[in-house]
Amino acid sequence: MKKTILLALSLLLGCTAISAPAEARTGFKRVAYFIQWGVYGRNYHVKDVDATGAAAKLTHLNYAFGFVNAGGACYSADPWADWQRPVPAEQSVDGVADARGQALNGNLNQLRKLKAKHPGLKVMISLGGWTGSKYFSDAVLTAESRAALARSCIDLWLRGNLPDLPAGAGAGVFDGIDLDWEWPGSSGAEGNVVRPEDRRNFTLFAEELRAQLTAFSSNAQLTAFLPAAAAKIDAGFEVRRVFRALDFATVQGYDLHGTWEAQTGHNGNLLTDRRDPNPVRYSVDQTVRDYLSRGAPGRKIVVGVPAYGQGWTGVTGGGDGLYKPAAGPAAGKWGPGTEDYKDLVTKPGKRYRDLRTGTLWLYDGNEFWSYDDPAVLLQKAAYIRLKGLGGSMMWSIDQDDTHASLTSALYSILH
């Protein structure tokens, strides 16, 4: 099966043969994000990463998110979820409830238990995200502030010196830091501080953080989440130099189109779609090419894949619904225009698949949903292997189903 998928994709890409280096690659990264707030409405816990079988198929779990404050220091956006919430036995990785008076509770203690059960799994603290990147620009403005921010993040998350707990109570949970500044040098969430100097300062901060992490532990890792759009790449990242400071980078392979647009489109198409009427045609392959052409080593490029879909309602124009006008975002369980894979897979409607672009979409005559299923992820994983890239990253693990179907599809090719 693996060779058949690789051969089929090589033909789609116009390759005459599967390259030996790509076929022989081992040690692919299989990364997934775990959302801090999932323990609330979503009722998704660290235990579920293990119970679904996903933990055994991952190399890295990125914990989202730690924030940076106006004073240029790392802090927890939700101490209750992170280390204060007593976890009952039924939500605990090892079936043992947090004891009254123990120092470390919450998600961090469960992550420590998860690592004990899966010793090969690395857990990273992800800094920033869409809602936590407001003050990055200020925090990395000078050499002194960059050094101070790096010390703060390492002290809090890796040394485990958590507020109001004994020194080092959180030590050993995290194996490194994942930078999720969205975005240096260009717009992100409303109100974010943005400067032209962000591009250089991101590089300098990554190098400072790399140096301090190495001084802390030779095994500490540093990664970053990087954007898909070429304009954002060039505005914010000195690609060749940044990649030298990183163990690897995860690149955005989703939200290529979404409900901020007035017509439907692909959430995360693997290959460029000739039907795409947009002036800029995005695809995972184009993003990978953009990073390679700017000096990123392929083995350090980890491709992001979505465990959710983008959806529109009031889609008119008939046909298969693709690139048709829409009235707005479709209703979603957790927000307008977005739905988890595990819920999309049971939605009624006709499904369309295009192997030439690596896409799947659902259209019922009114609602249009673009999302990835296991078959699409097999194709993307084959692409990663064929191109000799670093691996895959999923946003986010709670959106996969109870059988870890998406995670398993990636693992079947990238292990």
Please give the positions annotated as active site: 182
Output the DSSP codes for 187-253. Answer: --STT----TTHHHHHHHHHHHHHHHHHHH-TT-EEEEEE-S-HHHHHHH--HHHHHHH-SEEEE--
Q: How many CA atoms lie within 13 A of 63 on its CB side?
A: 32
| Torsion angle defined by CA atoms of residues 93, 96, 102 and 107, in that order, rounded to the nearest 10 degrees | 20
For residue 128, what are the β-bridge partners?
180
Identity at 396, one-letter amino acid code: S
Count, residues in the chain: 415
**Residue 137 and residue 149: Cα distance in Å, rounded?**
11
C-alpha span between 356 and 347 (Å, rounded): 24
* H helix or E strand, kind and range, residue 379: helix 374-387
Contact between residue 126 and residue 61 where contact means Cβ atoms under 8 Å apart: no
